[in-house]
Amino acid sequence: MKQRKLGAQGPEVGCIGYGAMSFSDMYGPTNEAESHAILDSCRDLGVTLLDSANIYGMGKSESAIGSYLSANPGARDEFVISTKATITRDADGNRCFDNSAEHLEAELDKSLQRLGVECVDLFYAHRRDPRFTPEETAANLGRLVEKGKTRAIGLSEVAPSTLRRAMTAFPVAAVQSEYSLSTRFPDLGLVQACAELGVAFVAFSPVGRSLLTDNPIPKARIPQLPFLAGNPRFMEPNLSENLRITDKFRALAAQMGTSAAALANAWLLTRGDHVIPIPGTRSVKHLEECVAGADLTLTPEDLERIETVLPVGWAHGDRYSDEQWIGPERYC
């Protein structure tokens, strides 16, 4: 697979990575054997960047990776492993964020234990805690590099201004945010800031939580998936409109001799040499479709055809509900 740098001083990774939220039960039940089959396929396909977090299945995602590494001793050297922390609960059980040095280190220590490694390659602040300045958060993360517990630091769902300030305190290797043909707000400053500063842009949900695939999650399953059941794009009448519009994208992909998932990931790869999509899936077949996007070369005419069927702003409904928006920084 073609390679891209994970930050100015970081390692090279496959230009398409894997989002291991799917190792939790976020999009439906899964188990260790299915997760291990995905990791086998990652190795076969050249997918080297694995992205997890402490809250994905409350440790289930990291534990699946850890048990795989334990069963396949040589695999650790084949993967670049990233994880995240800061999303937590207060004394009353309310969702909140903690960017303190103590919390970050304590959570990373737990992640290292679940992963079965002494050091991860990249550790993100999953959300910005408003009690800390960007500089303070970066410095707190940076101490973990100095202690040898992570090789690099990252930020997730932040504004370009936050990234710029954080960079003055400690080098940031990567910024992670939702980015796809259905969610294009990063084009309004964040993609550009990352390119300017030598920061990798790690794009999660590159296939629009299934809308940009040949087989979107069926309407009947959505009530069983709490996140999607409360997400504006998957609630009626928005869902029917979004499916109707993306039917044109599926038809275009078929005309081009590829899958919708491959085309969606290939489009992201044209947005800059620093952009790294991390599709997540419980299906080996779907992973293969996503990764096939790395082999597509899109011409200006291809990109124009894509823009015609999915013009900027086509999606009905916001990407998050009011509750889901708590944490990500809005900057435009």
List, by residue number, the catalytic residues. Answer: 56
Query: Which residues lie below 8 Å from residue 90, measured CB to CB, with a gap of 6+?
Result: 96
Q: Are 314 and 245 in contact (CB under 8 A)?
A: yes
How far is the C-alpha of 85 from the C-alpha of 9, rounded, in Å? 22
How is residue 220 written in tokens? 């009947």
Count the neighbouring beta carbons within 10 Å of the beta carbon of residue 105.
18
Count the neighbouring beta carbons within 10 Å of the beta carbon of residue 64.
28
Query: What stretches of the chain adopt beta strand conformation (E)?
Result: 3-5, 12-14, 18-19, 49-51, 80-85, 87-89, 95-97, 122-125, 153-156, 172-178, 200-204, 275-278
Give, for 111, the enclosing helix (H) or strand (E).
Answer: helix 101-115
How far is the C-alpha of 162 from the C-alpha of 329, rounded, in Å? 9
Residue with tokens 């002494």: 118
